[in-house]
Amino acid sequence: MKSQALQELVKKIFSDEKIKSQFMTNPDSILSQFSLTEDERKAVLKTHARLGQMASDSVLLDTAIEPNIWWT
Amino acid sequence: MAILLRSEIETLLAPLSDNSGLYDLVKEPLSKVMQDLVAGAARDRAWFFLPLIICDVICGRCEHAIPTCAGIELLKAAAGVFDDIEDTDSAESLPSKYGIPLALNTANILLILAERAFTRLKKQGVDSDIVVNIIDTVNSYCVTACIGQHLDLSLASEEFTLEDVYLRVIAMKSASTVECACYSGALLAEANQELIKSFTIFGHNLGMASQIANDIKGIRHLSDIKKHKITLPTIYALAQTDGETHRLLEAVFCKRPYGFLPTPDRIRDLLFSTGAIQYATIKMELYKQQALNTLFELERAGVKVDQLKQFLQ
């Protein structure tokens, strides 16, 4: 299902340096401004804890996604 | 179990062994799984054992499910060859190396061998009604996957840039095969309808997470950018950008007119900078979380699901 609040959250973080820096230091303070489901909140925090803000040369990203590509 | 599954596949391929050319062709799309079975990769992430593991966690035995694993592997191999014929984008694929007629024949043989695999469930002592039910279930999921593939090939890029449409298509063409494996495992364990439904939901979420991981890899390693393929990260970026960035992404992925296009790695950097990869990664984690929720529910119902948690770690 499409996640409107999730899209808005990610857009906000990536388009506003102040929000981004606040999210990096205190993610909960930003997450509380969006009506995310509990599962969406967990997914955001898990991604943030493991990968932070990703760049295209992120080796961590490969490590995180590769184990999930086991069926396709 | 790895030895038993390997032996089951070898038995199914045996009638072809007199014709070494055909035998080698049929084995090629199966080579990865056969290597993994020999190498014992199954110990780490036993994805080809999904029907077995589900059968085992429900009823405590699973050897009778081996032909189902073999059948699903053969179907996946056939689908892979058909995909290669449709995509014609890899020099290493069967149609590129041997031509479309031989590749088509190989895919057809793999389909027939898969059907034979399911009928071999009877030899394992599985009740005829369940065998028929398994064959009917697998065929029904195959129809769903083909409809998903049809939509993937035929939808205009404007329709495909809607996230709901995209998620529906990957649910049909990709996640349905994982659902099928989970459903079949539960059916062979003679589980009740409620358990079957829970394992089907688990399979759906697992399959969605796997496809989105593949989408991220396609951007990270540039392959989907070079192929102008629209996937979840691109859909996010197209929806959330405007101005020059949006026009550039439309030019690359929707083939709209534009001047000089930047290199694929520049497009990749652009997608990262919009948060598209972050968004897709969160969505992947979301599907994994939903799969985990189902496992917790099953645990509360008394099913020991530890073996399945490895797929989410």
- Count of CB atoms within 10 A of residue A42's CB? 18
| Structure-token pair, residue A9 | 């959250």
Do residues B180 and B141 lie in contact, with contact meaning Cβ atoms separated by under 8 Å?
Answer: yes
Residues of B in contact with A53 (CB under 8 A): 278
Q: Does B47 sit within 8 Å of A70, measured CB to CB? A: yes
Domain boundaries for CATH 1.10.600.10 within chain B: 1-189, 192-313
Q: Does A42 sit within 8 Å of B275, measured CB to CB? A: no
Considering the domain delimited by B1-189, tell me its CATH architecture: Orthogonal Bundle (1.10)
More confident site: B63 or B202: B202
Q: Which residues contact B83 (CB under 8 A, 6 or more apart)?
A: B149
- Give Cα separations from B138 to A17, B180, B186, B242, B282 (angstroms): 50, 6, 13, 44, 31
The pTM score is: 0.91
The burial class, CB within 10 Å (0-12 / 13-18 / 19+), for B296 is: exposed
Reported as a single tens digit per residue, the pLDDT across A17-38 is 899 889 888 989 999 999 999 9
DSSP A53: S
Query: Is the model's pLDDT at B42 over the cut of 60?
Result: no
Specify the pLDDT at position B44. Answer: 46
Q: Which residues contact A35 (CB under 8 A, 6 or more apart)?
A: A5
Q: Does A47 sit within 8 Å of B285, measured CB to CB? A: yes
Tell whether domain B192-313 is in CATH 3.30.2320.50. Answer: no
User: B108: pLDDT confidence band, cut at 50, 70 and 90?
Assistant: very high
Specify the pLDDT at position B278. Answer: 93
Q: Which residues contact B186 (CB under 8 A, 6 or more apart)?
A: B54, B55, B58, B195, B196, B199, B200
Q: Does B164 sit within 8 Å of A71, measured CB to CB? A: no
A43, A55, A67: residue with CB nearest B285: A43
Q: Does B174 sit within 8 Å of A71, measured CB to CB? A: yes
Domain count, chain A: 1
**What count of residues does chain B have?**
313
Residues of A in contact with B288 (CB under 8 A): 43, 68
Collect contacts of A40-48 with beta carbons under 8 A, ≥24 apart.
A40/A3, A40/A5, A40/A6, A40/B282, A40/B286, A42/B285, A42/B289, A43/B282, A43/B283, A43/B285, A43/B286, A43/B288, A43/B289, A44/A6, A44/A9, A44/B282, A44/B285, A46/B285, A46/B289, A47/B278, A47/B281, A47/B282, A47/B285, A48/A23
Query: Is the model's pLDDT at A6 over the cut of 60?
Result: yes
Do residues B204 and B180 lie in contact, with contact meaning Cβ atoms separated by under 8 Å?
Answer: no
The DSSP-derived string for B59-114 is HS--GGGHHHHHHHHHHHHHHHHHHHHHH---TTSHHHHH-HHHHHHHHHHHHHHH
The burial class, CB within 10 Å (0-12 / 13-18 / 19+), for B124 is: middle
- % of chain B residues with pLDDT over 70: 96
Reported as a single tens digit per residue, the pLDDT across B141-193 is 999 999 999 998 888 777 777 899 999 999 999 999 999 999 999 999 999 99
Query: Is the model's pLDDT at A55 over the cut of 80?
Result: no
More confident site: B78 or B155: B78
Helix, strand, or coil (residue B4): helix
Query: Is the model's pLDDT at B265 over the cut of 70?
Result: yes
Do residues B70 and B9 lie in contact, with contact meaning Cβ atoms separated by under 8 Å?
Answer: yes
| Structure-token pair, residue B107 | 């895919």
A55, A56, A69: residue with CB nearest B213: A69
A40, A42, A69: residue with CB nearest B210: A69
- The residue assigned the tokens 């205190």 is A26
- The residue assigned the tokens 């990703």 is A54
Q: Which residues contact B85 (CB under 8 A, 6 or more apart)?
A: B95, B100, B103, B104, B107
